[in-house]
Amino acid sequence: MTSAQRGALANTVSSHVALLALDTAKQAGVPCSELAPIAALVRSPSVDDRTRVPTTDMTRLWEILQHHIGPEAGIRMAALADPGRLHVWDYLIGAAPTLAAGLRTAAEHTATICDPAVSMRITDDGARLSLDLADSPFRGPALAAFAEFALAITQRRAREVFGDCGIPVRVDLPHAAPRRYGYLVDAFGTGNIHFEQERGGLTFLHTDSCAREPYDPRLYSILQDYARNLLEHPRPAPTWPEQVRTAIRYVLSDNTAHGIDIDDVAHRMNLSRRTFQRRLAEHDTTWRAELDTARHELATTLLRDPALPVRTIALRLGYDDHRTLSRAFQRWTGRTPTEYRRELTRSAVGASD
């Protein structure tokens, strides 16, 4: 990964990992109110396969999982990760010709799902194949949950394709041993587990039988190219004010001609009115400012449809009449809605010529 790519991805993780953590928390019965701020970020309609979310939010999710589930949090999350949940990374190990090649490829593209501060290192001495989690931005309970999840999901993907070759002969973990760790023995398929190690890691026996049949080199190449493309073109998660404006647009769409109220939007974001207002203040904005911006964005979109009368657009935006919309639109753009539409028409005609 280049330094420019690392910089673009710094302090973020894939939205796929955050979504998996949210689903794990939901399955464990974590109250929605505790997850709401992060859920609103990750489940935004604008989130796609390229979207990254702040590592600080992922740290909070790890801590929530540890608090509600206990030491098994990371393993529970790996067990919920059916193939495809982690997008392209999920297929890099299994598409490789050998287990060794698959682990190297997965390690090379770790940043497709993790913070780029996380790195995997592969060591191959001909007899044993070792994978180490060299670095991590997490500490304390979050580190324990992350390390167990990262190693368990890697081992699971290896075992799904390469069978017994994907069962490690040794597991290293950086944290202290929990009171009971039978769940780790079950997850990794070995009791040779060592705690309080310098770093987390898996060690496999290197055998000639650890090869994939059939092997499709073209598919393997396509997956690697796609993973590299994700690293080159990440998308930051929408900011919290952007999420507010998205929620406003949804409420406006649902409440046509019924206006809009702050309580409607707060409810949409699973927040109380007081908490919603406090978070607006924390982001140096106000309800009125965000409502005004959301109306502006939605108005310019709706005015592109010549079949929609300005009066109808005004009602959709929660205004009492079209004159109120006209005054607001002039304040935003210096033009009336009709003038704006006329300019759009002239531009379209000019482009066709």
- What global pTM score does this model have? 0.71
Last residue of a domain, one of 181, 210, 232: 232
User: Is there a single domain that holds both residue 228 and residue 265?
Assistant: no
* Residues 73 and 206 occupy one common structural domain: yes
Distance, in Å, from the CA atom of 343 to the CA atom of 273, rounded to the nearest integer, reads 40
Boundary residue ending a domain (232, 255, 272): 232
Q: Are residues 59 and 11 in the same domain?
A: yes
- Token pair, residue 340, equals 């704006």
pLDDT recorded at residue 256: 56
Q: In what order do the strands lie in the sheet with 200-205?
A: 119-124, 128-135, 200-205, 170-172, 193-194
What confidence score (pLDDT) does residue 79 get?
Answer: 97
Token code pair at residue 332: 């935003």
The CATH number assigned to the domain holding 111 equals 3.90.1520
Query: What does the pLDDT read at residue 250?
Result: 75
DSSP codes, 268-329: HTT--HHHHHHHHHHTT--HHHHHHHHHHHHHHHHTT-TTS-HHHHHHHTT-SSHHHHHHHH
Whether residue 24 is found in the same domain as residue 168: yes
| Same domain, yes or no: 13 and 61 | yes
Token pair of 67, please? 């608090």
Q: Look at residue 33 in the predicted model and tell me its pLDDT.
A: 67
Q: Residue-wise pLDDT tens for the chain (353 aa)?
A: 667 667 778 888 999 999 999 999 999 999 876 786 678 777 776 778 888 888 888 988 999 999 999 999 999 999 999 999 999 999 999 999 999 999 999 999 999 999 999 989 999 998 999 999 988 888 888 899 999 999 999 999 999 999 999 999 999 999 999 999 999 999 999 999 999 999 999 999 987 678 888 899 999 999 999 999 999 988 877 778 887 888 888 788 766 556 788 998 888 777 889 999 998 998 999 999 999 999 998 898 889 888 889 998 998 898 888 999 999 999 999 999 999 998 988 876 666 55
Which pLDDT score, from 0 to 100, does residue 242 have?
83
- Among the candidates 208, 232, 256, a domain finishes at 232
Domain count, the chain: 2
Pair 158, 302 in one domain:
no
Structural domain boundaries, residue 23: 3-232
Same domain assignment for residues 155 and 253: no
Same domain assignment for residues 224 and 249: no
Specify the pLDDT at position 345. 81
Are 223 and 252 found together in one domain? no
Orientation angle between helical segments 32-42 and 55-69, nearest 10 degrees? 150
The helix (run of H) or strand (run of E) holding residue 201 is strand 200-205
